Chains A and B, each alone.
Chain A
Amino acid sequence: MYHNIHKIEKISHLNDSTFILQIERRDLKFTPGQHLVVGKKDDKEFRQYSLYNGINDDYFQILVKEVENGLVTPKLKNLKEGDEVEINGPMGYFTLSESTRKNLPVVMIATGTGIAPFKSFVVSYPELDYKLIHGVRTAEEAYDKELYAKDKYILCTTRDDKGTVKGRVTDYISTKTFHKDTQFYLCGNSEMIFDAMEILKEKGFSANQMFAEVYF
């Protein structure tokens, strides 16, 4: 099945602007890190969202932040259980190979809702040797932080001091050292991804150790 109309099973509002949309999965397969193209049924506008759920969940979840005056997110925010969306996917190659997740340290760097594919990695692959560096403005954006082991989750906040550290994720990684075989997964806005890649290159990591999913 390549695309279809799926029902909304649940919508969970995490704060005023951010929500989790739970969509019926049916028999669709996916690999953690993949995304869906989602839009309200009969609408012409669609956006891509990384899957937020684990591989064994019998539903799909996407983590959405409402964009003021946006063409898609306000409509998604107003959906109710039983409403329908059109989806296309799952698709994409922002995934972890078996050898990576079993043999190599993985550092995941996210801003905002860019944490979505990493939550899917963590809940799907309990064996994963990871560090998750999450950049947000305030600690209330640390969505589902209880799912991550305290010593593996670094919350970087820029507008309050309730995180692990105060400042940007790029400030944090520039002060840290990483194992030479580390695989870096980056998800979030393009400026953060570019800046982080430059820092990692300066630290001697190659392009083949960096994987990015840009959120717009």
Chain B
Amino acid sequence: MLYHLIVLGCQMNISDSERVRSVIEQMGFTHTDKEEDAHLLGVLSCSVRQKPIDKVYSRIYKWNRIKAKRNVLTFVSGCVLPDDREKFLKLFDFVFPMSELNDFPKMMKEYGVASPLSLQTTDAEIKIEDYFNQKPVQSAFKPVKIAAKNSKTTLPSNKDIFQLWKTQPNYQSDFEAFVPIQNGCDKFCSYCAVPYTRGREVSRPSAEIVEEVVQLMKTGFKSITLLGQNVNSYGLDCENEILFAQLLEAIGKEGEKLNDPSWVYCTSPHPRDMRRDVVESIAKYKTLGKQIHLPLQSGSDQVLVKMNRKHNLDRYRESIQYIKELVPQATLFTDIIVGFTGETEEQFQSTMNSFDEFKFNMAYIAMYSPRPGAQSFRWEDDIPKETKKDRLKRLSEKLENISLHYNQELMGKEMTILVRTTERKTGYLSGHNEGKIVTRIISKDPSLIGQFVKIKVTEVSGFSISGELVENTAVNSRKTIEAKV
């Protein structure tokens, strides 16, 4: 029996998908890239923008047309707003929050279908092979049979998330991994609906996180990213848990014991909780990647208040000062929204000025779009699309100039690069340095993918650098290669 899974949205969904695959495969399904061949079709939804939600609807309409010809099972999980959830209940066979993933086999059984592996013991009404082989007996848009157990309430609950975290993930790479450390958001930024899709902030037990990270380091993973909606709010929801700085320290110490075999990153922190001790930990331990992603969203205090960001420019500036003082080599990434409701040209100019001040290496710049469920959805989206596009363009150009200036300083320098993939057009290898600057490696040797190599930078552009291999051999241990530099 085959399954097909579509993953939309952020790294958190990618991380969750590794656990979804694990649970589905434990039920006896095998992955297929071809949705037309699959018996079980699933999508992990994202509610940050409208586009992924439109994709979910597009897929389920297609899948329900398949369902008219043969029996297939469909499910949706991930970030789903209450309003969409109600609509999905009429379209999908299974609708459940990620925190209830481990109940999926039980839900399938309650649906009346045995999973392939449970055929021997199940008391389900229909064996799965019979179900998929029989002619469809239900209309394409049949009512839902199974929803999550929390369906009696509308808001998401995270009380079962601990079970999700205990599920062994089916990592989709053998050198890059995401490790969830925290889920949910209590910040309620006015443009964002995540508190209504992911629920409250809940921290994963630190011992479990450290164990997973150590295991990944020992098995050769080179890039490990600690994930959460608010990673640096880690532990604040618990009475007996360490805080984020101590968690980083614990991971840093474990990295030291293993000769720092990996780069460990985190995303995303919230400026409100970016304390000095967090930056101190990043500075102190070699294992902790010297790249910091700190979403600013706007350079105008007035807009930040309206966004309910719970930080202002001064507080953000203070965090940047810690970074510049303690980890001057760190690259700085951010997120920005342009054209937020009521954003004046002067306020946008403050964001432009903040780029001059903070010298971001990378910024993920989005044009504001109202999200159902978010506070700002009820406000007039009064900035014309052309103005938003213009601001996006101007800010992107500024970013490129700043980034180019930084990259020019790297010319001729030797550095360690993690080789990630091959460029489709040129066939050259592609990867990134410790600061996550995209790097072309002048080599077409695919055996280097997943390895650290040393390069000398020979060319730079706005958002990337390229260089020649200094040593034409893969080096598994980062420590080894750096010792040679």
Q: How far is the CB of A194 from chain B (nearest CB, A)?
A: 5
Determine whether the beta carbon of B153 is less than 8 Å from that of A193: no
Determine whether the beta carbon of A2 is less than 8 Å from that of B318: no
Determine whether the beta carbon of B190 is less than 8 Å from that of A88: no
Determine whether the beta carbon of A44 is less than 8 Å from that of B82: yes
Is residue A208 within 8 Å, beta carbon to beta carbon, of the partner chain?
yes
Question: What are the residues of chain A within 8 A of B202 when measuring CB–CB?
Answer: 2
Question: What are the residues of chain A within 8 A of B129 when measuring CB–CB?
Answer: none
Determine whether the beta carbon of B305 is less than 8 Å from that of A193: yes
Q: Digit string of A74-92 for contact with B (CB within 8 Å is 1, else 0)?
A: 0000000000001011011
Determine whether the beta carbon of A44 is less than 8 Å from that of B158: no
Whether A3 contacts B305 in the complex (CB less than 8 A), given A44-B82, A46-B196, A207-B318, comes out as no
Question: What are the residues of chain A within 8 A of B312 when measuring CB–CB?
Answer: 197, 207, 210
Is residue A93 within 8 Å, beta carbon to beta carbon, of the partner chain?
yes
Q: How far is the CB of B196 from chain A (nearest CB, A)?
A: 7
Is residue A43 within 8 Å, beta carbon to beta carbon, of the partner chain?
yes
Q: What class of interface size applies to chain B in its complex with A?
A: 20 to 34
Q: How far is the CB of B381 from chain A (nearest CB, A)?
A: 15
Determine whether the beta carbon of A214 is less than 8 Å from that of B308: yes
Determine whether the beta carbon of B302 is less than 8 Å from that of A194: yes
Residue of B86, B155, B201 touching A86 (CB-CB under 8 A):
B155
Determine whether the beta carbon of B310 is less than 8 Å from that of A2: no
| Cβ < 8 Å to B, chain A residues 174-216 | 190, 193-194, 197-198, 201, 206-208, 210, 212, 214, 216
Q: How far is the CB of B127 from chain A (nearest CB, A)?
A: 37
Tell me the total A-B contact number using a CB cutoff of 8 A: 79
Determine whether the beta carbon of B310 is less than 8 Å from that of A212: yes
Determine whether the beta carbon of B199 is less than 8 Å from that of A88: yes
Is residue B159 within 8 Å, beta carbon to beta carbon, of the partner chain?
yes
Residue of A44, A193, A198, A212 touching B154 (CB-CB under 8 A):
A44
Is residue B386 within 8 Å, beta carbon to beta carbon, of the partner chain?
no
Determine whether the beta carbon of A92 is less than 8 Å from that of B83: no
Determine whether the beta carbon of A216 is less than 8 Å from that of B301: no
Question: What are the residues of chain A within 8 A of B313 when measuring CB–CB?
Answer: 207
Is residue A39 within 8 Å, beta carbon to beta carbon, of the partner chain?
yes
Is residue A98 within 8 Å, beta carbon to beta carbon, of the partner chain?
no
How long is the Cα–Cα vector from A214 to B201 in the complex, in angstroms? 20
Determine whether the beta carbon of A44 is less than 8 Å from that of B83: yes
A-B contact pairs, 21 of them (CB 8 A): A1-B159, A2-B199, A2-B200, A2-B202, A3-B153, A3-B200, A5-B152, A42-B154, A46-B82, A86-B153, A86-B154, A91-B201, A92-B186, A93-B186, A93-B236, A93-B310, A193-B305, A194-B301, A197-B305, A207-B314, A214-B190
